Chains A and B, each alone.
Chain A
Amino acid sequence: MDATSATPPDADGSLSGATERLERPPKRQQQQQQQQQRTNYGTNNADATDGAVLTVPSVVIRESGSRPSRLNAGGNDGGHSSGSGPGPSQHDIEEEQGLKYGAQHVIKLFVPVSLCMLVVVATINSISFYNSTDVYLLYTPFHEQSPEPSVKFWNALANSLILMSVVVVMTILLIVLYKKRCYRVIHGWLILSSFMLLFIFTYLYLEELLRAYNIPMDYPTAVLIMWNFGVAGMMAIHWQGPLRLQQGYLIFVAALMALVFIKYLPEWTAWAVLAAISIWDLIAVLSPRGPLRILVETAQERNEQIFPALIYSSTVIYTYMGTHYTPEETLPTATATATSSPSFSNSTTTTRATQNSLASPEPAAGPSSSSTRPGNTRTNQQRQQDNPSAAEEEAAGFTQEWSANLSDRVARRQIEVQSTQSANGRSNEYRTVTAPDSTQQPEAQEERGIKLGLGDFIFYSVLVGKASSYGDWTTTIACFVAILIGLCLTLLLLAIWRKALPALPISITFGLIFCFATSAVVKPFMENLSAKQVFI
């Protein structure tokens, strides 16, 4: 069965081909694979174009399929690999899921980002409350009252430095708490901040909204609406709720936070903060001792979901029906290794995945892979079904949260590609090697998508909202397009590097360039053109 799942489709041939060749089992099997390939191309022709458009996750997913073949070729002979019954269906499922959850996720990320920006821009343009700054945040003591640009400049610089140091301190605090396993403190922190946003800031928003549209309302109704909205939001974000609702709340919360920033940050400071935060993002995610990187590695060491997520994910992250209960797979680094060939385990973060995959042929695997051994897998599954709420609680707690706090926003600011299919491929391979009952395998499919931190939503929206607050639609749309292009490029880099990447730097840089270029060059040019009636 695994040979069938090993067929690399032409969509990702360029990327997966190399590893595929390295792991290629004996020649006879290769031929079988090619045969299977042909049949699969026939069946999945319609979807193949889909995969070809966006190779990002399809690469990941397909590669995962290729891994069992290598191990199976080592464990059993080629005869087993192509002959067993459930193979094609399994492969079809993987294929289908790969295409279904692969390409769509990239698009799925565009929709919420656009929605968030839309909410912010609409609010900025319809509610004048968010357009004027009269009260300031505590973190920005310099208010840019002076008319001199130089004074404004150093004010903005000082403000953004203060704000950034707060961010850094909060992030480090978060890392320390996480390292010390103070999950309750972190949870409390997140719940408190989401509570504040969902009740207090939403209350202000509702008031200004009603005032802007001159809609009468009495206090009992307002209180009832706030109570319902807030409690449902807390349930959806921190506990369990429909995915759409949760996504909607996360988008709204991000938009609200962006509005708070636009409202309470002085003019130049907002721009300076945008630039500074994207640089910080770059450092925190990519530098060897960057806090977010430490976070990722710690989470990986502990076999946990990546940190209390503050993350918008395009699908459910929800592991408790999986046959294996190792959230380890959700880590970007782990998946990256799982998808690249295990023989290339030279970085420190790759060791676990490598150990797992190499140890898998023997049932008595090393301690690190104990949770993925079939016996444990089954007990885990049983335990989860007996006591699903605990498992869910954990899964929910680590994925659905978000916060308004600065450090959390930093923590959110990362994109990860998650390929559960690869993870499932791994768990399936244990199963097939040691206990070939593949009836449960379809259940093991989890959904994974590309994740984007809520902080990215917030700062994208701040940029677009700030641009739109000048009342110029050309600039606004230029910013919007620039940010989406930046996001596209980030996703492209994600496909190449396959590790957690900061989503802010490219997008924000593009956005800032486009914004100032448009308002300084394009807009006067257009105005001049229309004044001279060139367009007529």
Chain B
Amino acid sequence: MDISKAPNPRKLQLCRTYFMTGFALLPFVWAINVCWFCEEAFRKPPYPEQAQIKRYVIYSAIGTLVWTIALISWIIIFQTNRAAWGATADYMSFIIPLGSA
């Protein structure tokens, strides 16, 4: 849908819904929220709902960032320690890379 044509309360509602949905372990939804409402929150001429939208966008961005960092650090920790952790780590592995001959 085209967000620029929606009325302002609707924008706020959508932004809030996306923000709330993001709490269900959905950082991708937060990222979408940031991309989608970034222009609304920061570039458009001010309107009453903008302050709230801005707040949700900023929180979503923070959430996305935290998730990204957490995920990357988890992946690095897991992959570097996989051999050391033994059978548990193997059990947790989705794909174990094959060695090249």
A interface residues, Cβ below 8 angstroms from B: 207, 210-211, 214-222, 224, 227-229, 231-232, 235-236, 240-243, 245, 316, 318, 321, 385, 388-389, 392, 396, 447
Contact for B29 among A220, A232, A243, CB less than 8 A: A232
State A219–B93 Cα separation when bound (angstroms).
Answer: 5
State A219–B35 Cα separation when bound (angstroms).
Answer: 28
Tell me what chain A mostly uses at the interface: helix, strand, loop, or mixed: helix
Q: Does B27 contact A (CB under 8 A)?
A: yes
Q: Is the CB of B32 within 8 A of A215?
A: no
Q: Is the CB of B71 within 8 A of A221?
A: yes
Contact for A318 among B1, B75, B94, CB less than 8 A: B1
Q: Is the CB of B79 within 8 A of A388?
A: no
State A224–B98 Cα separation when bound (angstroms).
Answer: 23
A sample of 17 more A-B contacts (CB under 8 A), given A222-B94, A232-B32, A389-B13, is A207-B95, A216-B79, A217-B95, A218-B92, A219-B93, A220-B74, A224-B25, A224-B71, A227-B26, A228-B27, A228-B29, A232-B28, A232-B29, A241-B1, A318-B2, A321-B5, A392-B1
Interface string of B79-93 (1 = CB under 8 A from A): 100100000010011
Tell me what chain B mostly uses at the interface: helix, strand, loop, or mixed: helix
Number of interface residues of B (CB under 8 A): 34
Task: Write the nearest CB–CB distance from A263 to chain B, whole angstroms.
Answer: 19
Within B14-44, the residues touching A (CB, 8 Å) are 14, 21, 24-29, 32, 35-36
A245 surroundings in chain B (CB, below 8 A): 32
Contact for B95 among A215, A232, A235, A385, CB less than 8 A: A215
Q: Is the CB of A229 within 8 A of B1?
A: no
State A224–B68 Cα separation when bound (angstroms).
Answer: 12
State A103–B22 Cα separation when bound (angstroms).
Answer: 39
Q: Is the CB of A388 within 8 A of B7?
A: yes
Q: Is the CB of B1 within 8 A of A217?
A: no
Q: Is the CB of B94 within 8 A of A218?
A: yes
Contact for A242 among B36, B71, B75, B94, CB less than 8 A: B36
Q: Is the CB of A388 within 8 A of B97?
A: no
A210 surroundings in chain B (CB, below 8 A): 94-95
A241 surroundings in chain B (CB, below 8 A): 1, 32, 36
Task: Write the nearest CB–CB distance from B47 to chain A, whole angstroms.
Answer: 15
B36 surroundings in chain A (CB, below 8 A): 241-242
State A215–B96 Cα separation when bound (angstroms).
Answer: 8
Name the 9 nearest CB pairs between A and B, nearest first: A228-B28, A222-B94, A316-B2, A217-B94, A210-B95, A216-B97, A214-B97, A321-B5, A242-B36
